[in-house]
Amino acid sequence: MMQRNGIVFAACAAFVLATAVAAGWAQPAAAAKGARVDKTTFGTTKDGQAVELYTLTNAGGIVARVMTYGALLTELHVPDRSGQMADVVLGFKTLDAYEGAHPYFGATIGRVANRIAKGKFRLNGQEYTLATNNGPNHLHGGVKGFDKRVWKAQTVPATGGVAVKFTYTSADMEEGYPGTLTATVVYTLTDRNELRLDYTATTDKATPINLTNHSYFNLAGDGQGTILDHELTIMADRYTPVDDTLIPTGEIASVRGTVMDFNRSTRIGGRIAQVPGPAPGGYDHNYVLTHGGGVLAMSATVREPKSGRVMEVLTSEPGVQLYTGNFLDGTITGKAGVAYQKHFGFCLETQHFPDAINHPNFPPVVLPPGKTFKSTTVYRFGVK
């Protein structure tokens, strides 16, 4: 084991070997003993497509399950400080439930994650109109976004871990977006207890793109109450304030001295009642990461005090949406048989800023043909 800032992370032979490879000393590191990928059938969609479920297991016994419907993380089992495993993501047992109404549990979100005001944008002199599936706005790729598509999958080699690559080709004008776009996301479970998501995309016409993962975490375990006692740090000095429909006003505001400030580890529930914005209340905001994006960097940490479980989030994206499950209202029952009440999970959706396509002062989201979009997010688990 190795310790950093008091947090214990597993160190193992595979990591040492991987480091050796990076330094050019040795042959590529295979995943450590015990690491493997198993493939099973998860079900068949209502329109007759077979859905596969990949189970990734690392040397330390961490298990991640990802299915081809939505390239969606259905389960993630990680140990607490006494080695007790718990599934720390919300979700369902059946494909049928995932095909029903739910707020994007575990899914890969695209073509454009988060909101686009009134579902409209201009690109290269042309106006595009998308579905307004969230009040007056477009949300998370539209009526049938990447979260509701069946992706192709294959296992791929990975250094110091095991990996599965998911691929989806989105047709020209699908959901109103221009260009045939091919997106990939590789889920790698490393022997350093990291779940790493590497995204790429290419297009044949300029298009906006913003890919994320919409996992809802509860580090006490799925269905184990609210996340209000989780202690959160977000390395962000600024955020993008929103209007009543959760569209950024365009201002980039300081978090200092406000309830938005998570630069120092703070209980999520500590000031949640004072968060400004529309009912039903809570955090649903994009943070402007201080590292600025472009390289993989530490962005947030979360600790659940009873179990001691810690999750670190690293990303190459410039922003992260903190969403505290404000719209969960007990109407959806999850895989543990527990109804998901308000704040039963939190999301840290790494991303470009919401409605960036309509805000020239935000980091740009247009992918031109001939270029490859790349983005990486790592969720790293330990105990403290």
Interface positions, 131-190, toward ligand GLA (CB under 6 A)? 139
**Measured from the CB atom, is 140 or 192 closer to ligand GLA?**
140
- Give 250 or 281: the residue with its C-beta nearer to ligand GLA: 281
To which residue do tokens 């269905």 refer? 223
For 347, phi and psi rounded to 5 degrees? Answer: -120, 145
Using CB under 6 A as the binding rule, whether residue 377 contacts ligand GLA is answered as no
Of the candidate residues 246, 310, 320, 367, the single one contacting ligand GLA (CB under 6 A): 246
Identify the CA nearest to 54 among candidates 36, 73, 67, 71. Answer: 67
204 and 169 Cβ atoms separated by less than 8 Å: no
Distances (CA, A) of 92 to 37, 42, 98, 104, 334: 21, 12, 7, 11, 5
| Burial annotation 251-270 (CB, 10 A radius, 16+ → b, else e) | ebeebeeeebbbeeebebbe
Nearer to ligand GLA, 51 or 139 (CB): 139
CA dist 115 and 111 (Å) reads: 11
Secondary structure letter of residue 35 according to DSSP:
-
The piece of 4-12, 66-74, 145-153, 321-329 that touches ligand GLA (CB under 6 A) is: 321-329
Does 331 engage in binding with ligand GLA (CB under 6 A)?
A: no
Residue with tokens 């050796």, as numbered in its chain: 20
Select the span of 37-45, 62-70, 252-260, 320-328 touching ligand GLA (CB under 6 A).
Answer: 320-328
- Give me the least distance between CB of 150 and ligand GLA, in Å please: 21
Q: Residue 341, class by beta-carbon neighbours within 10 Å (0-12 exposed, 13-18 middle, 19+ buried)?
A: middle
Nearer of residues 246 and 310 to ligand GLA, judged by Cβ: 246
Q: Which residue has the tokens 């810690």?
A: 310
Site string for ligand GLA, 47-86 (x = CB under 6 A): ----------------------------------------
What six digits make up the tokens of 184? 């990939």
CB of 222 to ligand GLA, least distance (A): 17
CA dihedral angle for residue 248, residue 315, residue 298, residue 107, rounded to 10 degrees: 80
**153 vs 300, beta carbon nearer ligand GLA:** 300
Catalytic residues: 214, 349
Contact between 116 and ligand GLA by CB under 6 A: the answer reads no
How many CB atoms are located within 10 Å of the residue 42 CB? Answer: 20
Query: What is the spatial distance between Cα 338 and Cα 222, in angstroms, rounded to a whole number?
Result: 9
Interacting residue with ligand GLA among 347, 357, 365, 378 (CB under 6 A): 347
Stretch that binds ligand GLA, among 35-43, 70-78, 220-228, 319-327 (CB under 6 A): 319-327
**Residue whose CB is nearest to ligand GLA in the complex, by number:** 103
Choose between 268 and 347: whose C-beta lies nearer to ligand GLA: 347
Three-class secondary structure of residue 13 per DSSP: helix
Using rule CB under 6 A, residue 103 touches ligand GLA: yes
CB of 53 to ligand GLA, least distance (A): 23
Q: Which of 327, 339, 364, 368 binds ligand GLA (CB under 6 A)?
A: 327
Contacts of 35 (CB under 8 A, 6+ apart): 14, 57, 58, 59, 161, 162, 189, 191
Residues 109, 133: Cα–Cα separation, whole Å? 14
Size of interface with ligand GLA, in residues (CB under 6 A) = 10
Q: Does 321 bind ligand GLA (CB under 6 A)?
A: yes
In Å, the largest CA–CA distance within the chain is 59
Q: Residue from 54, 69, 98, 104 that binds ligand GLA (CB under 6 A)?
A: 104
Residues in touch with ligand GLA (CB under 6 A): 103-104, 139, 246, 284, 321, 323, 327, 347, 349
